[in-house]
Every structure is written in structure tokens, then in C-alpha cells.
Chains A and B, each alone.
Chain A
């Protein structure tokens, strides 16, 4: 199973029991439905209700991105994985401040672990790592989610500040800006983060977790905030190293971006390069220590959902994923 990223424009439709992509230049491509994990639509695509009904029947999410490559929304098929019990427990862990804090802190811990791990790859980053550790120490003794969020925010600022130490000079990066991304590095980070978010949403959808009930982020955010929580752990593990590699190997250059008054965005060629690298990364496998079998990064995302379920069911205490290699 894999994700399909459609950058082209044309029509996406059901063809018997397969999916048919008809590009505007007339080229046709058939995708067997069984191979699909999720579909990501970047280009101008037409589709009809028949397609959505088909995707719903097969339980395949369709993620949609706008012209700039920002996440717009998802057609999430009717949920077949429902567990009232798990929902009640998810809410219980949100309403109980201690239980909520435990999970929120775990997500921050996982995020910062991978942030530090990234920095450690490069020389001269020690002072930054140390400052992140100080923020993490403060996080452990925080008494509210707001305080925890403060530590997390500052730690992340420090993390981003370190980027200039090892990124190519022409990609100098002043600070993290999201809406809109002001320069190429911000554009890459934003793009990577939205891909992590939608990938986690796809994996979450295959479990009984309710993606709206979250612990670090507020469930009020009118988003699938549980996916935001889990994404914290995986953004620095999966997306950020891609950004470093694409820039430093010269695979992505300034020509892969469009800059206008609305900010800086990857153009189609840039998106294609990024998506290719991202997809490859998701398919990369690691020997799992407990399962004693090879699992892909994508599976690791799924396993993280399972770990959370086990925690919520009182089966096993949750510890965030920490890359051990």
C-alpha cells in the first residue's frame, strides 16, 4: 500500500473497481484500489460523487492541497473503526489534568528528542542543544499545559535558530514563519509538516482513535488536533532531515520556489522533488526491536497510534517514539 501524490491536472475517476487518472494531455493511468493507502491531490483535479462513494467504500482518504501546496482538507470516508470505549477513554485522559499533562509532555519529549538528534549531526550546535535541554527541564516541572506549550515553543525557536549553522548560505533563515512562509526554508518546513500531518491522519483513520481529541494541542482548534500532537514527534524525525538533505545536496535550488507578495512557495518542480524524497523516506524500513521484523516509517506512525491506544486502555504506559539508531 502506498500514497499517491497527484501533481498533474485532469480527471480522477472510478473505472470499474480501479482508479483512473486522466491527465489533461490525454495520458491515462490506472491505479488498483488495493495498492492505495491514501491519495494526495496537488494539481487541478476534477472528480465526481461516484469517485467519493467508491473511495468511501474502500476506506481510502483523499487529501487536498491548495495551489500553494498548503493543506486544504480531507475527504475522510465514513468511519468503520468506531470504539465507544476508546472514545470515552480518550476524553477521560483529556479531562483529567494529570493524565492530559502526561501525554502532552510525552509528545514534547519525543519532539525535542528528535530535534536534538538532528542538531547533533552537525558541529557547533552544542550550545543550542544545551538550551533545548534547559527548556525540556523546565517542561518537566511545568504545572500547566500553557506553561508546557511555552517551553515547547521556545525550544523549537532555538532549534530553528541552529539551522543557519549547517544549511547552505544562500538559504539563510531568519526565523520560522508560517502564514505565509517568508523564504525557501520556511516553505520547505511548512510543506513537510503538512505531509506529516496528513500521513498521520491517514494512519489514525485506520485505528479507532478519534483524531479530534488531543492533549498537547487544544481539541478546540477545529482541526484533527490529535494528528498535530503526534506530528510533533515525527516532524523532526522524518520531514526536517529531508529539508536539510534536499538543500545541502543541491537537489533543491532557489529555482524550485515561487516568490510573490503572498510569500514563498515550492513550485511544481520543487514539490515533485520533495514528494519523491518524502515518499522514499516513508517506505524506508527499520528493523523493529520488539516486533523483530522490518517496518517502514509509515508503519512506525501506525504503531504510534497503537501505543497511544494501549495507554488509553490502561494496557501499557505510553512512551513517545525515539529513534534508536
Chain B
């Protein structure tokens, strides 16, 4: 049986995240149609990432140019998020990091941190999550091989997205 492999797809953590938020954004982002530099919210997220946990040393660890972990400490990897709105997507993103590391023979736990909310959430890689991630990887491949972007569908959170004016203007 053919397994979806990490190598042929070059799936980044961001793509996993986008897959669970908006497939159209995933497609556009993959083709270099990026809007993030225009968005104030994205800038806020970046600043948050930069200025939270100033005492931690291992920040933004990039592996194989595919996964970029915000913080590594002991047996945990940490992803810093601005809000809980897309929690499912965040869980799958960090789950993907754990899955990827596991493939390299490294076992870690994940933590999603919400510094603004003073909360965090632990993520453990389960078999169930692994199969869900494999499904997602197949799904991403399907989206990215489409010749045109998936049709825009208006969702409640579209209005705050950096792509809002692109999709609906």
C-alpha cells in the first residue's frame, strides 16, 4: 500500500494548519499568493511569538525546512498562538510536528500556549491523531493538485482573514 510520505509532498506545519481552516487559503498560499504582509493581525501574531517567553533559549527550531517549532524545551515542543479560535487546526499542526519528529525517532509532547489568555494545552500524539494526520496529508495533496483555487465560501471568520478582500472584493 502506498503511504503518503513526507518527502514527496513537502508539507509544512502551516499547510496542515490551513487545511483545517480554509482549503482555498491553503491553495493560494502554496502558489505564493500571500496576503499576510498586509494584515495587522498577522503582525500581532508575529510580535507575540517574538516577545513571549524571552528567557527560553531554543526558539524557532526549523527541521528539514518543513516544520518550524516555536520553542523546544526538554521533552516538549511548544507552539505559541494568539487565540483559541482555531484550536483544532493548532492541535493538528503541533500533532504534525510530533508525528514528524516521531518519524525521526524523537518522541516529544506538545504544548499549545496562549500567552494572552495565560493558558496552555497539552497535545499527545495518539494513534487516532496519526490516522487523522495521514488523512489530512492526502487531503492536502488533493487540494494542491487542483488547477484553480477551491471556490471561496463565506464563513463567519472570513471577515478577519488577510485574504478577505482577495476572496470577496
Contacts of B33 in A (CB 8 A): 83, 85-86, 208, 309, 313
CA distance A307 to B34 in the complex (A): 15
Q: Which of A78-97 contact B (CB under 8 A)?
A: 80-86
Of the candidates B31, B37, B151, B166, which one forms a contact with A306 in the assembled complex, judged by CB atoms under 8 Å apart? Answer: B166
Of the candidates B32, B38, B151, B165, which one forms a contact with A303 in the assembled complex, judged by CB atoms under 8 Å apart? Answer: B165
Of the candidates A288, A303, A307, A314, which one forms a contact with B147 in the assembled complex, judged by CB atoms under 8 Å apart? Answer: A314
Contacts of B38 in A (CB 8 A): 206
- Cβ–Cβ contact A81 & B34, under 8 A: yes
* Interface residue? A49 (CB, 8 A): no
Q: Could you tell me the distance in whole angstroms from the C-beta of B40 to the nearest C-beta in chain A?
A: 10
User: How many residues of chain A get a CB closer than 8 Å to chain B's CBs?
Assistant: 24
- Cβ–Cβ contact A291 & B165, under 8 A: yes
* Interface residue? A271 (CB, 8 A): no
* Interface residue? A302 (CB, 8 A): yes
What mask results when residues 55 to 93 of chain A are scored 1 for a CB within 8 Å of chain B, else 0? 000010000000000000000000011111110000000
CA distance A224 to B164 in the complex (A): 27
- Cβ–Cβ contact B32 & A82, under 8 A: yes
Task: Given A313-B149, A314-B147, decide whether A291 and B164 contact each other with a Cβ distance below 8 A.
Answer: yes
* Interface residue? B168 (CB, 8 A): yes
Task: Given A80-B37, A206-B38, A314-B147, decide whether A306 and B32 contact each other with a Cβ distance below 8 A.
Answer: no
CA distance A309 to B148 in the complex (A): 11
CA distance A112 to B25 in the complex (A): 35
Q: Could you tell me the distance in whole angstroms from the C-beta of A315 to the nearest C-beta in chain B?
A: 5
Q: Which of B130-169 contact A (CB under 8 A)?
A: 147-149, 151-152, 164-166, 168-169
CA distance A290 to B164 in the complex (A): 11
- Cβ–Cβ contact B149 & A86, under 8 A: no
* Interface residue? A267 (CB, 8 A): no
Contacts of A85 in B (CB 8 A): 31-33
- Cβ–Cβ contact B32 & A288, under 8 A: no
* Interface residue? A299 (CB, 8 A): yes
User: How many residues of chain B get a CB closer than 8 Å to chain A's CBs?
Assistant: 16
Q: Could you tell me the distance in whole angstroms from the C-beta of A107 to the nearest C-beta in chain B?
A: 18
Q: Look across to chain B and name the residue whose beta carbon is closest to the beta carbon of A84.
A: B32
Specify which of B37, B147, B165, B169 lies most central, judged by the most chain A CB atoms within 10 Å of its CB.
B169
Of the candidates A86, A208, A288, A313, which one forms a contact with B169 in the assembled complex, judged by CB atoms under 8 Å apart? Answer: A288
Contacts of A306 in B (CB 8 A): 165-166, 169
What mask results when residues 77 to 94 of chain B are scored 1 for a CB within 8 Å of chain A, else 0? 000000000000000000
Contacts of B32 in A (CB 8 A): 81-86, 208
- Cβ–Cβ contact A291 & B37, under 8 A: no
Q: Could you tell me the distance in whole angstroms from the C-beta of B5 to the nearest C-beta in chain A?
A: 23
Contacts of B166 in A (CB 8 A): 306, 309-310
Of the candidates A84, A86, A290, A314, which one forms a contact with B168 in the assembled complex, judged by CB atoms under 8 Å apart? Answer: A290
Q: Which of B20-40 contact A (CB under 8 A)?
A: 31-34, 37-38
13 contacts between A and B (CB under 8 A): A81-B37, A82-B32, A83-B34, A86-B32, A86-B33, A288-B169, A290-B168, A291-B169, A302-B165, A303-B169, A309-B166, A313-B33, A315-B149
Measuring CB to CB, which residues of chain A are less than 8 angstroms from any residue of chain B?
A: 59, 80-86, 206, 208, 288, 290-291, 295, 299, 302-303, 306-307, 309-310, 313-315
Measuring CB to CB, which residues of chain B are less than 8 angstroms from any residue of chain A?
A: 31-34, 37-38, 147-149, 151-152, 164-166, 168-169
Closest 7 CB pairs of A and B: A83-B32, A314-B148, A303-B169, A85-B31, A306-B166, A315-B149, A290-B168
Task: Given contacts A83-B33, A86-B33, list 17 more A-B pairs with CB under 8 A.
Answer: A81-B32, A81-B34, A82-B32, A83-B31, A83-B32, A83-B34, A206-B38, A208-B33, A290-B169, A291-B164, A291-B165, A302-B165, A302-B169, A303-B169, A309-B33, A313-B148, A314-B148
